[in-house]
Amino acid sequence: MPKENDELGQKILDTAQALFNKYGVEDVSMHQVAKTAGIGQGTLYRRYPSKSKICFTLMEAKIDRFMEGLDVYLQSSDGEPVAHRLRTVITKVILHFNEDLEWLRVMLTSDRLEDTKNIMCENPPFTFLRLQIKRLLELAAEQGVLMPLDPQFTSVMLASLPRADIILYMRDMGYSAEQIAEEYCRSFVDPLFIHR
């Protein structure tokens, strides 16, 4: 039975992904997902009580792939200046959020977000990002190119600042994702480093 449940769950996610791609997240109803997947609405709601839950589940897979890619970048860029590497990490995070703005908009208005706010700093993507930033800041300190600061504190602040709701707000103000990333780095990353 667990294999059937896994197959059903994957069928629901695949159906939802296809519908979201075709019509946009906000224009797809739970009824439409159930009907297209060929299942009853009760079955769908038992597995996914809301559209935002489907979005969260789909986003988890994307975030896992993103973290793997970020790890590959960090391992392959050892010879680059730390300031450049940190700028690249932050830029990649902001551009990643930008790819799924509509999904994030749906998730940010969901009840489930309230449940996750208190544990946001404990979730694996945040922890991964914070640890990577901390490692880069410690490396910069060892190299003598970091302003006097606490890498632990600063890594938490940097990892928490590129929030999806703020990126959405800045996009609504007319900034492109690239502009947001550039201004973010100019405001919060560049001042951390001693420029010789």
pTM for the full predicted model: 0.76
**Cα–Cα distance measured from residue 155 to residue 137, given in angstroms and rounded to the nearest whole number:** 8
The secondary structure of 122-170, three-state, reads: HCHHHHHHHHHHHHHHHHHHHCCCECCCCHHHHHHHHHHCCCHHHHHHH
| pLDDT tens across the length of the chain (196 residues) | 445 558 898 999 999 999 988 988 888 999 999 999 999 999 999 999 988 889 888 888 888 888 999 999 999 999 999 999 999 999 999 998 887 776 666 655 555 444 544 456 677 888 999 999 999 999 999 999 999 999 999 999 999 877 777 888 899 999 999 999 999 999 999 999 997 5
- Domains of the chain, with CATH numbers? 1-49 (1.10.10.60), 52-192 (1.10.357.10)
User: Cβ distance 16 to 35 under 8 Å?
Assistant: no
Taking the alpha carbons of 91, 96, 98, 101 in that order, is the dihedral positive or negative?
A: negative
Q: What are phi and psi of 146, to 5 degrees?
A: -105, 135
Taking the alpha carbons of 30, 33, 35, 37 in that order, is the dihedral positive or negative?
A: negative
User: Cβ distance 145 to 194 under 8 Å?
Assistant: yes
Beta strand extents in the chain (DSSP E only): none
Q: How far apart are the first and last CA of the chain?
A: 64
User: Cβ distance 63 to 77 under 8 Å?
Assistant: no
Can you name the residues that pair with 140 across neighbouring β-strands? none
Residue 87 CB partners (closer than 8 Å, separation 6+): 185, 189, 190
Q: According to the model, what pLDDT value does residue 107 have? A: 59
**Matching residue, tokens 């075709």:** 22
